[in-house]
Amino acid sequence: MARITAGLTTSHIPAIGAAIDLGKTAEPYWKPLFDGYEWTKAWARENVPDVVLLVYNDHASAFTPALVPTFALGCADEFRPADEGYGPRPVPVVQGRADLAAHLAEGLILDEFDLTLMYELDVDHGLTVPLSLVYGQPEQWPVRVIPLAVNVVQYPPPTGHRCFMLGQAIRRAVQQFDTDLTVHVWGTGGMSHQLQGPRAGFINKEFDNAFFDRLVKDPDGLARLPHLEYVREAGSEGIELVMWLIMRGALGPEVEELYRFYHVPGSNTAVGHIVLRAADTR
Amino acid sequence: MTSYTAGFEDIPGTRVFTAARAKQGYELNQFCMSLMKPENRERFKANERAYLDEWPMSEDQKQAVLDRDYNKMLDNGGNIYFLAKIFATDGLSYLQAVSTMTGMPIEDYQKMMISGGRSPDGWRSIKDGN
């Protein structure tokens, strides 16, 4: 039986990837940010799952304006780093886990989540920056990855409630997979940030910290937060935080908080990172 | 306008990229996507106006691109993740390009971010003035 045992969330700012790739992580601007991930890197070395289901959003890399899937599941054997205009990031090709992805596609669609299924998908900084933050710069990523791309670029994105329900459905589907596997679920993006208009640079520490608390203790209530409140309190790009609710739904009702980190700024963004263990790991 | 869309209009200094704006900005954003290819970037840089004229964009959209007026591009249906292909072509970072939309010099914008970012106070609601 497969089981979801832990989850984490992290921002996925492109400049973080550039800082890693260009060897700038020890510079004064970046050091406090990368120091904040040292605990997690040590934890991740001791807790290597078979598969990471990685919830992220594409940033006009794989999806053009011609196609806007709300939820798109990566069902291929591998996913290449996307060329985002500066050349692909010098990171390993992401190895998928097609048997579990096929199982999830079946389970989730029959559970009435009408996914888009991706058999070719180049993955951009939204997916590769979290891998770099947790696993550093290995020759090969130590885990298989199933990408789950969520539209948070064009409004309306899915509601927080729908994301939370999808997470719960992922948990059910994983538990029905008849192979002994450990799965972690990552939610990425956020926290407060706005990359457009005169309001750009918007950061809301109070909101972000309350979001952390509610994610742990009151995910049902948090899932009811309307989009307008995300934009008002976390900025137009802060809407990425709905993706964290997929992770939270997938961990079951009770979680143990293992680690939390918050830092401003990473480029234009508030960096938020939390590691959770599922209380019920059946 | 639906009440969903109208709600966002109350947020100062913000243009939420709705389905209606996506339609309005479709060709502008597709032009941006074309800059993912090195040969297109070269052709664009060699003669911006001629390259833009290959696209069925409005004159306002073309002029906004030529002026690198990102707020005007947003007004015309552009979205920042597509527009990023333009400033990547110009060799600018997100921080540099985003700062131009705020009217602040880049140094001041960078300083604001390092000091904790733009405070939400006064930037939540036009109606409530908070």
- Give the model confidence (pLDDT) of A192-230 as tens digits: 999 999 999 999 999 999 999 999 999 999 999 999 999
The answer as to whether B4 is a domain residue is: no
**C-alpha distance from residue B123 to each of A20, B11, B14, B126, B127 (Å):** 33, 7, 10, 8, 11
Which of the four pLDDT bands, split at 50, 70 and 90, describes residue A282?
low
pLDDT digits (tens, 9 = 90+) for A64-89: 999 999 999 999 999 999 988 778 99
Per-residue model confidence (pLDDT) at position A24: 97
Is A125 annotated in the active site? yes
Active-site hit among A12, A193, A263, A273? A193
Q: What is the mean pLDDT of residues A243-253?
A: 98
CB-based contact A268 B13, cutoff 8 Å: no
Domain extent, residue B106, equals 17-114
What's phi and psi for A246, nearest 5 deg?
-65, -45
* ipTM here: 0.96
Q: CA A39 to CA A35: how far, in whole Å? A: 8
Nearest by CB: B116 against A153, A264, A268: A264
**If you average pLDDT over residues B58-80, what whole number do you get?**
98
Return all residues near A119 (Cβ < 8 A) that are at least 6 apart: A75, A76
* Cβ contacts of B124 on chain A, cutoff 8 Å: 232-233
| Residue B89 binned pLDDT confidence (cut-offs 50, 70, 90) | very high
Give me the number of domains chain B comprises. Answer: 1
Integer angstrom CA distances of residue B10 from A85, B14, B127: 34, 9, 6
When divided into structural domains, chain A yields a total of 1
Q: Which B residues 18-57 touch A at CB under 8 Å?
A: 18-19, 22, 25-26, 29-30, 32-33, 35-36
Q: How far apart are the first and last CA of chain B?
A: 24
Instruction: Chain A: give the shortest CA distance to residue B73, in Å.
Output: 10
What would the two tokens of residue A172 be? 């059910």
* Dihedral sign of CA atoms A52, A55, A56, A62 in order: positive
Q: Whole domain around residue A196: which residue ranges? A: 2-278
pLDDT value for B2: 87
Q: What is the mean pLDDT of residues A24-49?
A: 98
Whether B113 has a pLDDT exceeding 80, the answer reads yes
CATH classification of the domain holding B81: 1.10.700.10
Dihedral sign for Cα atoms in the order A33, A35, A41, A46: negative
Residue B47 belongs to some domain of the structure? yes
Pairwise CB contact (< 8 Å): A200 & B98 = yes
Task: Give the nearest chain B residue to A268 (CA atoms).
Answer: B95
Task: Over range A122-148, report the average pLDDT.
Answer: 98
Residue B31 pLDDT: 98
- Nearest CA to CA, how far is A211 from chain B (Å)? 16
Residue percentage of chain B with pLDDT more than 90 = 98
Average pLDDT over residues A138-162: 98
Do the Cβ atoms of A60 and B79 come within 8 Å?
yes
Question: Residue B2 domain-assigned?
Answer: no
Q: What is the pTM of this model?
A: 0.97
Statement: residue A144 has pLDDT above 70:
yes
Average of per-residue pLDDT across A138-143: 98
Query: Among all residues of chain B, which has the CA nearest to that of A152?
Result: B17
pLDDT surpasses 80 at A181? yes
CATH (domain of A115): 3.40.830.10
Is B89 contained in some domain?
Answer: yes
> What's the mean pLDDT in A125-140?
98
In a domain, B12, yes or no: no
Contact A189, A163 (CB under 8 A): no
Q: In this complex, do B88 and A237 lie within 8 Å of one another by their Cβ atoms?
A: no
